[in-house]
Amino acid sequence: MPSPPDLPKRDIVVIGASAGGVEALRGFFHALPADLPAAFLVVLHIPADTPSQLDRVLGASTPLAVKIAQDGEAISNGQVYVASADRHLMVTPQGIRLSRGPKEGRSRPSIDVLFRSAATAFGSRVIGVILSGALDDGTAGLWAVKDHLGVTLVQAPDEAMYSSMPQSAIAHVQVDLVGTVEALAARVGKLVGTAAPEGVQRDNAQLALENHIAMEGNALKAGVMNLGKVSKYTCPDCHGVLVQIEEGPIVRFRCHTGHAFSLKSLMAQVNEAIDTGLWDTLRAVEERVMLLLQMEQLAQASGAGDEAARLHKEAEASEKRIQPLRKLVLDPLFFSHTAKG
């Protein structure tokens, strides 16, 4: 039932997707009623060096107007705003903001950044939708939407091409509906234009601070160290100390330069750092073996047989010692995919 004209309405829909998200988004917008008085803002994880084509893809799936979001533009109903590559998409009461702030969950644009900014700007007017994706970007953002009396919708994990993001949201947030993309679109159609519940105005200093970091950077000056206790871990991106942030069952981390991680994204980044380090070590030891063998040849050529034999023996020993490292770097069980979703 639509709300009276003088009451706030549910009219801000934020949608997050990652791996497998293009098909989910196409299905969602194809099933969505065309004349909804709401603004839709979409974050899909894309490479930083690849211009987004999502506006064209979605434009073929819905009669709604679809465009790449531009910094500073006003938010209009009946419009779909898509995040651009390498920019966080944020919203304020004044309109859209784009930022190249620190990555969150290894991503820019980040779903958490969009959802968190929408929750603080528009409160209970927000409808948050999580679709297919790996890891767990969007969980903390959906928590913020729910905490500000918004509606939370999640694609059914058994329908999602990648179930990790939906599963994480369901496990950590009180979700209002888990369903197919068609069911989510139908629920959005029923919710848009209805009265947004009135509640106590939530002045969340933590979320405001994190919004500031996403927009402006300079996390240390903003007070990032006040967000939680200092953790035992360091940031894989910049090697700064990580602060542990706790929101109900959700545990997150943020460093003094602003990079943010969930437990899963931190594990994925640490695994990547281990992988890089092991391959670097292998390369260095292999170069040591090649140098020893070249020195052996030079010693042999100069008639220093004993020295050549010593160098050959040392090269063999180095090659033998590197074998366990070769096995480790190729071990799929060590680099388990459980953290990648």
Average pLDDT, the chain: 92
Question: Is the pLDDT higher at 339 or at 96?
Answer: 96
| Active-site option among 112, 136, 137, 147 | 137
Percent of the chain past pLDDT 70, that is, above it, reads 95
pLDDT at 202: 59
In a domain, 124, yes or no: yes
pLDDT at 340: 42
Q: Decide: residue 300, CB within 10 A, 0-12 exposed, 13-18 middle, 19+ buried.
A: middle
pLDDT, mean of residues 84-94: 96
Range of the domain at 100: 12-191
How many domains, the chain?
2
Length of the chain: 341
Residue 2 confidence (pLDDT): 52
Annotation marks residue 18 as catalytic: yes
Among 191, 207, 223, where does a domain finish? 191
Q: How far apart are CA 114 and CA 99, in angstroms?
A: 11
Domain end point (choices 171, 191, 211): 191
pLDDT digits (tens, 9 = 90+) for 153-165: 999 999 999 999 9
**179 and 292 both lie in a single domain:** no
Which of 11, 45, 132, 164 is catalytic? The answer is 45
Instruction: Look at residue 7 and tell me if it is in a domain.
Output: no
Residue pair 27/43 in contact (Cβ under 8 Å)? The answer is no
Do residues 19 and 162 both lie within one domain? Answer: yes
Same domain, 76 and 164: yes
pLDDT at 203: 64
Is residue 337 part of the annotated active site? The answer reads no
108-136 pLDDT, tens digit per residue, is 999 999 999 999 999 999 999 999 999 99
Integer angstrom CA distances of residue 91 from 19, 34, 154: 24, 23, 21
Q: What is the pLDDT of residue 4?
A: 57
168-189: average pLDDT: 97
With cut-offs at 50, 70 and 90, classify the pLDDT of residue 186.
very high
pLDDT given at position 221: 84
Does residue 278 sit in the same domain as residue 145?
Answer: no
Distance between CA atoms of residues 193 and 172, nearest Å = 28
Q: Which residue has the tokens 């009265």?
A: 195
pLDDT band, very low/low/confident/very high, at 7 (cuts 50, 70, 90): confident
- Is 19 domain-assigned? yes
In a domain, 63, yes or no: yes
152 and 22 share one domain: yes
Same domain, 18 and 125: yes
Q: Are residues 23 and 168 in the same domain?
A: yes
Q: Taking a C-beta distance cutoff of 8 angstroms, is the pair 85, 48 a contact?
A: yes
- Domain presence at residue 121: yes
45: annotated active-site residue: yes
35 shares a domain with 178:
yes
Q: Is there a single domain that holds both residue 35 and residue 181? A: yes
pLDDT of residue 136: 92
Give the pLDDT band (50/70/90) at residue 341: very low
d(CA 225, CA 260): 13
Q: Would you call 205 exposed, middle or buried from its count of C-beta atoms within 10 A (0-12, 13-18, 19+)?
A: exposed
- My answer on whether 183 and 273 are in the same domain is no
Average pLDDT over residues 306-321: 95
pLDDT tens-digit series, residues 284-293: 999 999 999 9
Please pick, among 11, 18, 88, 164, the residue that the annotation labels catalytic: 18
Would you say residue 61 lies in a domain? yes
Residue 196 lies in a domain: no
Q: Is the pLDDT of residue 339 over 70?
A: no
Q: What pLDDT score does 206 carry?
A: 87
Percent of the chain with pLDDT over 90: 77
How far lies 155's CA from each of 55, 107, 144, 180, 245, in Å? 21, 21, 18, 6, 26
CA atoms within 13 A on the CB side of 271: 18
Residues 187 and 67 reside in one and the same domain: yes
| Contact between 75 and 81 (Cβ < 8 Å) | yes
pLDDT score for 131: 98
Tens of pLDDT, residues 25-68: 999 999 999 889 999 999 999 988 888 899 999 999 999 999 99
Same domain, 276 and 164: no
- The CATH code of the domain that includes 88 is 3.40.50.180
Inter-residue contact 12 to 41 (CB < 8 Å): yes
Final residue before a domain boundary, out of 166, 191, 216: 191
Residue 183 is which amino acid?
Answer: A
Q: Residue 45's Cα: distance from chain center in Å? A: 7
272-305 residue pLDDT tens: 888 999 999 999 999 999 999 999 999 999 999 9
> Residue 146 domain-assigned?
yes
